[in-house]
Amino acid sequence: MDDHPCIRAMTPADCRPVAEIRVRGWQRAYAGMVPQPYLDALDVAADTERRRHHLAHGGPEVAHLVAEHDGEIVGWACHGPYRDGAAPAGSAELYAIYVHGRHLSRGVGSALLAESVRRCATAGYGHMLLWVLKENLPARRFYERRGFSPDGTEEPFEVDGVPVPEVRYVRVLTGDAPG
Protein backbone atom coordinates (compact mmCIF):
# COMPACT_ATOMS: atom_id res chain seq x y z
CA MET A 1 0.00 0.00 0.00
CA ASP A 2 1.60 3.25 -1.13
CA ASP A 3 -0.19 5.42 1.40
CA HIS A 4 -1.72 4.88 4.78
CA PRO A 5 -5.37 3.94 5.05
CA CYS A 6 -7.83 6.45 6.42
CA ILE A 7 -8.97 5.31 9.88
CA ARG A 8 -12.44 6.53 10.79
CA ALA A 9 -15.49 5.65 12.84
CA MET A 10 -17.60 2.86 11.38
CA THR A 11 -21.03 3.77 10.02
CA PRO A 12 -24.07 1.56 9.35
CA ALA A 13 -23.14 1.56 5.65
CA ASP A 14 -19.87 -0.17 6.58
CA CYS A 15 -21.52 -3.17 8.26
CA ARG A 16 -21.63 -5.39 5.16
CA PRO A 17 -17.99 -4.95 4.13
CA VAL A 18 -16.88 -5.30 7.76
CA ALA A 19 -18.88 -8.55 8.07
CA GLU A 20 -17.26 -9.83 4.89
CA ILE A 21 -13.79 -9.02 6.24
CA ARG A 22 -14.58 -10.58 9.62
CA VAL A 23 -16.10 -13.81 8.25
CA ARG A 24 -13.36 -14.32 5.65
CA GLY A 25 -10.77 -13.44 8.30
CA TRP A 26 -12.08 -16.16 10.62
CA GLN A 27 -12.15 -18.67 7.79
CA ARG A 28 -8.59 -17.84 6.74
CA ALA A 29 -6.88 -17.28 10.11
CA TYR A 30 -8.54 -20.00 12.18
CA ALA A 31 -8.51 -22.92 9.71
CA GLY A 32 -7.10 -25.91 11.55
CA MET A 33 -7.56 -24.19 14.93
CA VAL A 34 -11.37 -24.27 15.25
CA PRO A 35 -13.76 -26.88 13.88
CA GLN A 36 -14.05 -26.57 10.09
CA PRO A 37 -17.86 -27.07 10.07
CA TYR A 38 -18.14 -23.95 12.27
CA LEU A 39 -15.97 -21.94 9.87
CA ASP A 40 -17.89 -23.22 6.85
CA ALA A 41 -21.19 -22.18 8.44
CA LEU A 42 -20.17 -18.56 9.07
CA ASP A 43 -22.60 -16.33 7.21
CA VAL A 44 -21.88 -12.80 5.98
CA ALA A 45 -25.56 -11.75 6.01
CA ALA A 46 -26.04 -12.87 9.62
CA ASP A 47 -22.78 -11.23 10.65
CA THR A 48 -23.86 -8.01 8.92
CA GLU A 49 -26.93 -7.91 11.15
CA ARG A 50 -24.77 -8.57 14.24
CA ARG A 51 -22.45 -5.70 13.24
CA ARG A 52 -25.48 -3.39 12.86
CA HIS A 53 -26.78 -4.42 16.27
CA HIS A 54 -23.38 -3.95 17.95
CA LEU A 55 -22.90 -0.60 16.27
CA ALA A 56 -26.33 0.63 17.36
CA HIS A 57 -26.31 -0.81 20.88
CA GLY A 58 -22.66 -1.04 21.89
CA GLY A 59 -22.71 2.19 23.86
CA PRO A 60 -20.58 5.28 23.44
CA GLU A 61 -17.57 3.71 25.18
CA VAL A 62 -17.25 1.04 22.46
CA ALA A 63 -15.40 2.25 19.37
CA HIS A 64 -15.79 0.61 15.97
CA LEU A 65 -13.11 1.77 13.54
CA VAL A 66 -12.66 1.03 9.86
CA ALA A 67 -9.65 1.40 7.62
CA GLU A 68 -10.52 2.75 4.21
CA HIS A 69 -8.25 2.85 1.18
CA ASP A 70 -9.33 4.31 -2.16
CA GLY A 71 -12.99 4.14 -1.08
CA GLU A 72 -12.81 0.47 -0.04
CA ILE A 73 -13.16 -0.80 3.54
CA VAL A 74 -9.99 -2.86 4.06
CA GLY A 75 -10.00 -3.41 7.82
CA TRP A 76 -11.95 -3.14 11.05
CA ALA A 77 -11.14 -2.90 14.75
CA CYS A 78 -13.29 -2.63 17.84
CA HIS A 79 -12.27 -1.66 21.36
CA GLY A 80 -13.78 -0.51 24.64
CA PRO A 81 -13.72 -1.22 28.37
CA TYR A 82 -12.40 -4.62 29.45
CA ARG A 83 -15.42 -6.94 29.49
CA ASP A 84 -14.91 -9.58 32.14
CA GLY A 85 -12.56 -11.30 34.51
CA ALA A 86 -9.67 -9.99 36.52
CA ALA A 87 -7.74 -7.16 34.92
CA PRO A 88 -5.91 -4.08 36.09
CA ALA A 89 -8.33 -1.28 37.01
CA GLY A 90 -8.99 1.09 34.15
CA SER A 91 -8.22 -1.42 31.40
CA ALA A 92 -9.40 -1.28 27.82
CA GLU A 93 -9.83 -4.31 25.59
CA LEU A 94 -9.22 -4.74 21.89
CA TYR A 95 -12.26 -6.85 21.07
CA ALA A 96 -11.41 -7.52 17.44
CA ILE A 97 -9.19 -6.54 14.55
CA TYR A 98 -9.45 -7.96 11.03
CA VAL A 99 -7.91 -6.99 7.71
CA HIS A 100 -9.08 -7.87 4.20
CA GLY A 101 -6.94 -10.72 2.85
CA ARG A 102 -5.64 -8.64 -0.07
CA HIS A 103 -4.35 -6.01 2.36
CA LEU A 104 -2.52 -8.20 4.89
CA SER A 105 1.05 -7.08 5.67
CA ARG A 106 0.42 -3.67 4.13
CA GLY A 107 0.11 -1.60 7.31
CA VAL A 108 -3.67 -1.73 7.70
CA GLY A 109 -3.67 -3.76 10.92
CA SER A 110 -0.86 -1.65 12.34
CA ALA A 111 -2.75 1.55 11.58
CA LEU A 112 -5.96 0.24 13.15
CA LEU A 113 -4.16 -0.99 16.25
CA ALA A 114 -2.20 2.25 16.62
CA GLU A 115 -5.42 4.27 16.45
CA SER A 116 -7.14 2.02 19.00
CA VAL A 117 -4.16 2.34 21.35
CA ARG A 118 -4.07 6.12 20.84
CA ARG A 119 -7.78 6.49 21.56
CA CYS A 120 -7.63 4.30 24.67
CA ALA A 121 -4.59 6.14 26.03
CA THR A 122 -6.26 9.50 25.36
CA ALA A 123 -9.40 8.26 27.14
CA GLY A 124 -7.28 7.58 30.23
CA TYR A 125 -7.05 3.80 30.13
CA GLY A 126 -3.85 2.54 31.73
CA HIS A 127 -3.72 -0.83 29.96
CA MET A 128 -5.05 -2.46 26.83
CA LEU A 129 -5.75 -6.19 26.89
CA LEU A 130 -6.73 -8.60 24.14
CA TRP A 131 -7.36 -12.31 23.68
CA VAL A 132 -5.75 -14.31 20.89
CA LEU A 133 -5.94 -18.00 20.03
CA LYS A 134 -2.92 -19.70 21.52
CA GLU A 135 -2.12 -21.45 18.23
CA ASN A 136 -2.45 -18.25 16.15
CA LEU A 137 1.26 -17.55 15.98
CA PRO A 138 1.11 -14.91 13.22
CA ALA A 139 -1.34 -12.83 15.28
CA ARG A 140 0.72 -13.29 18.43
CA ARG A 141 3.85 -12.07 16.62
CA PHE A 142 1.87 -9.10 15.26
CA TYR A 143 0.84 -8.02 18.77
CA GLU A 144 4.26 -8.67 20.29
CA ARG A 145 5.95 -6.47 17.66
CA ARG A 146 3.57 -3.69 18.72
CA GLY A 147 4.33 -3.74 22.42
CA PHE A 148 1.88 -6.36 23.72
CA SER A 149 3.01 -9.34 25.77
CA PRO A 150 1.25 -12.38 27.23
CA ASP A 151 0.33 -11.81 30.88
CA GLY A 152 0.08 -15.51 31.78
CA THR A 153 -3.72 -15.68 31.69
CA GLU A 154 -5.19 -18.44 29.55
CA GLU A 155 -8.70 -19.77 29.11
CA PRO A 156 -10.52 -22.01 26.67
CA PHE A 157 -12.81 -20.41 24.12
CA GLU A 158 -15.43 -22.98 23.16
CA VAL A 159 -16.37 -23.41 19.50
CA ASP A 160 -19.01 -26.04 18.69
CA GLY A 161 -18.20 -27.83 21.94
CA VAL A 162 -14.46 -27.90 21.24
CA PRO A 163 -12.19 -25.97 23.63
CA VAL A 164 -9.84 -23.64 21.77
CA PRO A 165 -7.21 -22.17 24.12
CA GLU A 166 -6.77 -18.41 24.19
CA VAL A 167 -4.02 -16.36 25.78
CA ARG A 168 -4.38 -12.82 27.05
CA TYR A 169 -1.99 -10.09 26.02
CA VAL A 170 -1.49 -6.71 27.69
CA ARG A 171 0.17 -3.41 26.86
CA VAL A 172 0.71 -0.59 29.29
CA LEU A 173 -0.68 2.62 27.79
CA THR A 174 0.90 5.14 30.15
CA GLY A 175 2.76 7.60 28.02
CA ASP A 176 0.98 6.55 24.77
CA ALA A 177 -1.41 9.51 24.80
CA PRO A 178 -0.32 12.48 22.72
CA GLY A 179 1.25 15.12 24.91
Domains and CATH numbers, the chain: 6-172 (3.40.630.30)
The two most distant CA atoms of the chain are separated, in Å, by 49
pLDDT at 87: 73
Q: What is the bridge-based pairing of β-strands 127-133 and 91-99? A: parallel
Mean pLDDT in runs of 10 for the chain (179 residues)? Answer: 81 97 95 95 96 87 94 95 79 95 89 96 94 96 96 91 95 68
Distance, in Å, from the CA atom of 92 to the CA atom of 126, rounded to the nearest integer, reads: 8
Terminal alpha carbon distance of the chain: 29
pLDDT at 125: 93
pLDDT at 176: 56
C-beta of residue 15 within 8 angstroms of C-beta of residue 48: yes
pLDDT at 86: 73
